[in-house]
Amino acid sequence: MRICVLNEATKTSTGLEQRCVAAREAGCDYVVMPAPFERDAEGRLVEPSAGADTHAERLQEAVRAARRAGVKLLIDVRLDEVGGASAVVRDNPQWFRARSTAVPDPRQPRATPEVAEARFAYAQEGAALVEWWSARLLEWVGQGVGGFRLLQPQQVPVQRWRELIALVHAQAPEVVFAAWTPGLGLEALQQLAGAGFDAAFSSLAWWDGRGSWFFDEDTALRALGSQVVAVLDAPDGKRAAAPEQHWQLALALGGAWLLDDAQLDALPPSIRATDGLPTSNAGMRLRPLLRETTGLTAVAVEPLGGLPSLVLINGDTRHVVPVPASDLLRLLGDAEALVAEDGRSLSGATLEALEPGEVRVYRSVPARHVLAVPRMRPRAQTAGAWPRVCIESVTPSVDNGRFPVKRTVGDRICVEADAFCDGHDRIAVAVLWRPADAKTWASAPMRALGNDRWRTEFPLERIGTYEFRVEGWRDVFATLHADLQKKRAANTVLPVDVQEAVAVVQAAQARSDGALAERLQAVLTRIGAQSEPLQQLAIVLEPDTAQAMALADDKPFRSEYPVTFRVESERRAAHFASWYELFPRSQSGDARRHGTFDDVIKRLPHIHAMNFDVLYMPPIHPIGLNNRKGRNNSVTAVEGEPGSPYAIGATDGGHTQVHAELGGLEGFRRLIQAARAQGLEVALDFAIQCAPDHPWLKEHKDWFTWRADGSIPYAENPPKKYQDIVNVDFYASGAVPDLWNTLRDAVLFWVNEGVTLFRVDNPHTKPFPFWEWLIADVRGRRPDVVFLSEAFTRPKMMYRLAKCGFSQSYTYFTWRNHKHELQAYVEELNDGVPRECFRPHFFVNTPDINPLFLQTSGRNGHLIRAALATTLSGLWGMYQGFELCEATPLAPGKEEYLDSEKFQLRAWPERAPGDIVDEITRFNQLRRMHPELQSHLGTRFYQAHNDQVLYYGKFLDAGYLSRSRSMVLVAINLDPHAGQDADIEIPLWELGLPDHATVAVDDLWDGHRFEWQGKYQHIRLEATRPFALWRIRAGEVA
């Protein structure tokens, strides 16, 4: 439907016909003109009853001109108001309400009103007006008028429109009723819905190609007219975009438009061409897909029963905008590709752009079907064997059972799963579990939690790998039991119900044997002794009967989750320990004398007194001479410098030998025994790297990658360079399996020497399959072995190493100094996959890492980091010198120690002025005394109204918290230079207490008790004592 508005200046019949012809040549099939009768400026007919006078002759001229031009004539009509002096008002004054703009003069006779408002809203008057107007419109139709543009349609009730249009269409069904709607609000449009109009007019001329109001209007218009005609010219002159853009949009959005005859000559040929293009958009729907800030708007045009097209609009008239092709295909839906008018195709891999102000249309190519070949279509017999009981979302798991979850011996594994079945019958769900070396499975029934979630637990009583599976089946007797209980309560039990129940018990007895068969036979004997059905039913419903029937269940439709899950049950040291790192060669007390294991033995009482659990030493193997490094990582060493212990291997051996100056293997054995006597465990460094003079380079050349000139590249970890180290190639020609087995055997050698803790150097630079194999092999022989991953790398790689078997891992804690990042990191470790397999080891420093925070914060900063590490994680460690507050950097801004022990000997005192030995001793003691401090799990952060105060609670688990109604609270001042105050919230809700409750508080550091009353408390933490630890208890007072 394309309409041209004829200018009233066209007075002569010849001129009128010329404009009609011009409209037809421009593609119009309708012309519209004001009613050729006397009317005022608002379009009201002064005399709508006008007959065959000059006005009627004018109408006939317009009709003839339109017919000769091949277009249909529409005239403007306004029904809600007419001239106050018209005959219809005089004859039927009760139909109207008179209105005049003149102020009445009581001295003069009452003047004729200027305007008469039709009372369409009144029942009798409205019906009469509809009848009168229908006759008048039909009269004009009889004179050749093709339809009407209805002005101010919102002023006539929708019911009256329905009645009027129905009366006219009953005699002239082809007549067009087009409601003039531009500028009407959504509420007014919605009130006209269902009026029966043939068309309505959109406000396209006022749209800038971006505003969402246009789509709201379009939706409302399609509810009141079968098609929407786009207005191309803004009568108020406030056009929102260039005419060309609106012309293109009108074509793209369905092809129906209305324009003024003054614009006919300006229409481009592409708009004039109508052959093959739609001019009706009846049943069409517009669906906005994208409205981007760049100016790009994408609209899906969905015709009724046809293929959608895509309209792209660049509302920016100065800039090119990119087209997100893949997003558009996804949002449009069901399209394989989009093809433009010029044949260009738009697919997910296409990069396109729109020129400034451009409108582009794509037709969609329907997505083709992917049909299953016969072999992919299962037979009904196969589908009939598929599980009816559905088991999903089993926890705990890592990557759906690909890797084991980690726990500690003595834990109880809480297993949950979703399980359900079709229909209303009851199901039973159970967990089957066993140590991996057991031949039989134990079973634990799961209990329903609601919403088809089930739970049970089983214990970890041994160290090593456990397995568990989840099974479910339809529980026939439980279903029968529940139904009979309901019927008995409602007094609707029939004898046949009891007979069926007894038959189920008889079937169970028949398939049982031994004591269970005898037990069920006793039940049947008791039932047989009763003559009344209800008495028999009572025996069927007894708990003893239900228990026996559960044991005899043949598990119909049994299904099992297709994965067997694994649990690594590890010893306590895997999740809780305090590590002390030292270089044994620096323990002589004299920087000029190489230390020995016997010197380390002399240090053990001091380390033991600080309540550490683990003594960790860097590599103790022979150190290479070739390319040996000197003081402060210099690339050449002078005679007598010891070199880096990580440059492993020399003429006297490699990974299974001991550096002679340390005291040899016998000295190491003495250290192991002495450490055990002090309650300390020794951890060794497993570093898979070689000095250039390691024996392997001569004995196993096919374990390495060689350059064309016969040299071998040294190791690098940019920006660091290790000229004194070369790496093995795990996939070199002779590496698999010989190198892998040799490395495994090196670990087992030290295991046999009494070492079951290994800190692994840079495991992320070695293949994941190697680690998964080696750790499984070693722990399969010795499940008490624990591996610590020293991998400072990307999070996903660190988590993968944990999945592969590493019990512990270094972390980003070393670089987390601010409140928000500390909280975010610990919360990450308490959630999802990391919670199930990644145990963080919070080292405050290492020989390689002298944190910038410690370099500038002095003793207070060392206390802050010690407090954080010891209370946030069950695993923490420090490198010797930390307790003395040693943090001198190699250079400003460098995270390396000056005179690093990696390259020279040092002499360390046990105590020094301003040290924090006593504080570390106390922290380690509190960790042993309070189980809440022995894991990073169970950490919750609470509100402290100061960004320099980190405040959190620690508890074992939710069950323990609810039983004990007790937890540990920790507050730490993160500012090493100033004291900090904070208002904190006491988590009374965690203990089941109201906000005004009183709790007993134990100050764990100072050892005194007091009370807190109410949820809000104020604390101050000095820089010199930047921490506080409390235990709060419900149900007690101080």
Active site (catalytic) residues: 761, 790
The H-or-E segment that residue 1010 falls in is strand 1009-1013
Is residue 792 marked as binding? no
Residues in CB range of 752: below 8 A, 6 or more apart: none
SS3 content of the chain, % helix, strand, coil (to 5): 35, 25, 40
Closest CA to 332 of 291, 301, 304, 354: 301
Whole-number Å distance between alpha carbons of 864 and 844: 10
Q: Considering only CA atoms, which of 252, 277, 279 is closest in space to residue 340? A: 252
Q: Measure the CA–CA gap between 393 and 561, rounded to whole angstroms.
A: 10
How crowded is the C-beta side of 393, counted as CA atoms within 13 Å? 10
Query: How many beta carbons lie within 10 A of that of residue 405, not counting itself?
Result: 21
Q: Report how far residue 936's alpha carbon sits from residue 875's, in angstroms, rounded to the nearest whole number.
A: 8
Give the three-state DSSP class for 302. strand
Provide the CA 56 distance to its chain's centre, in angstroms: 71
Q: Which residue reads 């980003």 in tokens?
A: 812
Residues contacting residue 192 through CB under 8 Å, at least 6 positions apart: 153, 154, 158, 161, 179, 181, 224
Give yes or no for a contact between 78 and 117, defined as CB atoms under 8 angstroms apart: no
DSSP state letters, 939-1002: EEE--BSSTTEEEEEE-S-HHHHHHH-EEEEEEEE--TTS-EEEEEE--GGGGT--TT-EEEEE
- To the question of whether residue 1017 is assigned a binding role by annotation, the answer is no
Residues 6+ apart with CB under 8 A from 766: 688, 730
Q: Give the residue among 588, 730, 721, 763 at the shortest CA–CA distance from 661.
A: 588
Q: Report whether the peptide linkage leading into residue 737 is cis, meaning its omega lies within 30 degrees of zero.
A: yes
Alpha-helix runs per DSSP H in 172-273: 186-191, 213-222, 243-252, 269-272
Torsion of CA 922, 927, 930, 935, to 10 degrees: 160
Question: What are 58's two structure tokens?
Answer: 């004018």
| Residues 6 or more apart whose Cβ sits within 8 Å of residue 760 | 685, 686, 687, 787, 788, 789, 790, 806
Ligand-binding site membership of 216 (annotated)? no
Q: Is 96 annotated as a binding residue?
A: no
Q: How many helices (H) and strands (E) does the chain have?
A: 27, 47
* CA distances from residue 41 to 74, 87, 792, 926 in whole angstroms, order as listed: 19, 20, 82, 93
Put residue 939 in one of left, alpha, beta given phi > 0 → left and psi -120 to 50 → alpha: beta
Neighbouring CB atoms inside 10 A of 1032's CB total: 23
**Best CA proximity match to 591, nearest among 907, 267, 859, 1029:** 907
Q: If DSSP codes are grouped into helix, strand and coil, which group holds residue 554?
A: coil
User: Are 870 and 826 spatial neighbours (Cβ–Cβ below 8 Å)?
Assistant: no
Confirm whether residue 720 is marked as ligand binding: no
Contact 30, 146 (CB under 8 A): yes
> What are the binding residues?
629, 689, 724, 762, 902-903
> What are the binding residues for alpha-maltose 1-phosphate?
629, 689, 724, 762, 902-903
